[in-house]
Structure 1
Amino acid sequence: MRRGSLKLCCVRLRIGTELGCIVKKVFKILQREFIKELELNTVCDLSTLAHFVPFICKMSHLHKIMLPTHASTCLQDPTHTPAKGSTTDRNKKYVHKIISLFSKLNCLKHATTDDVCFLNDHMKQLLRCLKTPLESLSISFCNISQSDLESFAQWGYYQLKHLYLRGVNLSDLNFMPLKVFLQSVADTLLTLELEDCRMKDPVLLPALSQCSLLTSINLYDNEISTSAPKDLLYHTANLTQLTKELYPAPKEIYNHFGYIRVETFSQCCTELKSKTLITVRQLRSICLGSNPCYGCGERYFYELETTL
């Protein structure tokens, strides 16, 4: 074998190194057209991620991509006009290059971004770049704007099966575009996770009740009142395919320090079980969970089929 002639073929590629130079070396020795799944767990800035784009573009059969870059260089206020050649000006070029990557992936079905800064105010551009209908979209720990949320409602195709938003602060945004989007994917959506999005009560009702194929829902770590779980159970009563339902515990169960009052939690869940579930629906895999404990990070759970 000649020196430098080694080529590797793989279907699933997962890279966890923090060194961009090593990532490039890996990309160079791979037969990139065989890769169908890419998980890039690389801590880097926008410049480094942008330099990976030409290599990823060659992955012509890529079905699944995960970009948890934890990019440390973010854009400044979009109303600010940067000086020519400034850091912000260069970052915008990097963002444009990264987003343009999605226009080259003609087989993409599953997209995941985790703790990235380049999505803010750029969701519309990203969705427009997609060449094929996504089956799953997962966004975690990213800031998104009102225009980003509106881009969901303007999305041109409605075949999404799995939507995951986790750690995405929606508290100050108008939820109407998200309601419209849920209605548009009601005939295909199987999994919905809106965990730790700081939503107030079940604001997406009754759009949620139209998702007739829904099998799993997760609304943990949202701020809801005592009446909200009852409303949720009423609106999901006709969703016969549901096998997993994770709802947040009401805010009234916490003391003024934010710690859970276990007896109050237990009493609240018992009343919900006896007064709502028995009269409205059959017992299924329904679970109420508290926010993670400040000390240990664990939750209190109340499974309505069992006990605390």
Structure 2
Amino acid sequence: MCRLLLSHTDVSELEDQEEQHVVQITSQFLRLRHLQDLFLVSTSFLEGCLDQMLKCLTNPLETLGITHCLLTNSDLTHLSQCPNTSQLKGLNLSGVTLTYSSPELLPGLLEKVAATLQELYLDRCGIMDSQLEAILPALSHCFQLSFFSVCGNFLSMAIMDKTLRHTSVLPNLCQELYPVPRESFSSLGILQPRRFVQCRAELLEILKDLGHPRTIWISSSPCPHCGKDIFNHPEPITYGSNTSA
């Protein structure tokens, strides 16, 4: 088996039984000697126990998706220190709240996988400007990166400007998904079309200033305010003759 998906896996709320279930589940990884891609979706047993699972991996992973799960700081520390996550090509932490994590953990993980990482998903992580700014130096070292998505987070035009400038040095980056800038919303969280049009125009000017063909996608799926999709088919912002548009 090269690929494994565990989805919506719940265990007993009793502590002793929960620990037993965790041991039973994670011990199975010892048998998966060819595992390359691991996806964990809404798995309740992960919180505080990620290290037990990672220790059972017998080979380096190529893709790791931990989505819509609760993780502690210790979980993220083990994730960044585990030898079997040092060669990741794909990393998806969408739906994992990173707002309360120590600011050095995610940048440390990105620095670790910078030489191999090709796809990075950080959608709906509760990321604010300061959290995104903290990872930009590490992100700019991921020279193999081709896909980057931070949709569903509440970000300002200022940090999106910084992000576009940091990622402009990445030669393989061809698909970029960003949320609707927070300046596009009213104080009540309602999208203001005129403000959004202005933000799009400003983003295009940033792309022009950077001076090479590029396409970015602006989407709010879901909206960071209400959790509902705003655009089913958002239009790209394109400068030059980017063939990926």
TM-score computed with the length of structure 1 as normaliser: 0.71
How far did residue 112 of structure 1 move? Answer: 0.5
> What residue number does 2:128 align with?
200
> What residue number does 1:68 align with?
7
SS at match of 1:67: strand
Q: Which has the larger radius of gyration?
A: 1
SS at match of 2:136: coil
Count of aligned pairs: 232
SS at match of 2:66: strand
Q: Tell me if 1:239 matches 2:170.
A: yes
Rounded Cα–Cα distance in structure 2 between residues aligned with 1:265 and 1:109: 41
One-letter amino acid matched to 1:305: T
> What residue number does 2:103 align with?
175
Rounded Cα–Cα distance in structure 1 between residues aligned with 2:22 and 2:156: 40
> What residue number does 2:236 align with?
303
| Aligned 8 A contact 1:171 1:198 in 2 | yes
SS at match of 2:69: coil
One-letter amino acid matched to 1:177: L
| Aligned 8 A contact 1:152 1:178 in 2 | no
| Aligned 8 A contact 1:74 1:118 in 2 | no
TM-score computed with the length of structure 2 as normaliser: 0.88
**What value does the CA root-mean-square deviation take over the aligned residues?**
1.8
Q: Tell me if 1:263 matches 2:194.
A: yes
| Aligned 8 A contact 2:8 2:44 in 1 | no
CA 1:113/1:196 → structure 2, altered by over 3 Å: closer, same or farther?
same
Trace 1:69-84 onto structure 2 (pairs within 5 A). Answer: 69-71=8-10, 73=11, 75=13
Rounded Cα–Cα distance in structure 2 between residues aligned with 1:137 and 1:264: 37
> What residue number does 1:285 align with?
215
Give aligned-pair identity as a percent. 32
Deviates more, 1:122-131 or 1:295-304: 295-304
> What residue number does 1:215 align with?
146
One-letter amino acid matched to 2:6: L
Residues 186-243 of structure 1 show CA distances to partners (whole Å, capped at 9, x for unaligned) of 1110000011001112231110000001000011111212201110110001101011
| Aligned 8 A contact 1:237 1:281 in 2 | no
How far did residue 298 of structure 1 move? Answer: 3.6
How far did residue 128 of structure 1 move? Answer: 1.3
One-letter amino acid matched to 2:88: L
How far did residue 291 of structure 1 move? Answer: 4.7
Rounded Cα–Cα distance in structure 2 between residues aligned with 1:273 and 1:283: 11
Trace 1:123-142 onto structure 2 (pairs within 5 A). Answer: 123-142=50-69
Structure 2: unaligned runs, 5 residues or longer: 240-245
Rounded Cα–Cα distance in structure 2 between residues aligned with 1:108 and 1:295: 34
> What residue number does 2:243 align with?
none
Deviates more, 1:258-267 or 1:276-285: 276-285
Rounded Cα–Cα distance in structure 2 between residues aligned with 1:296 and 1:279: 33
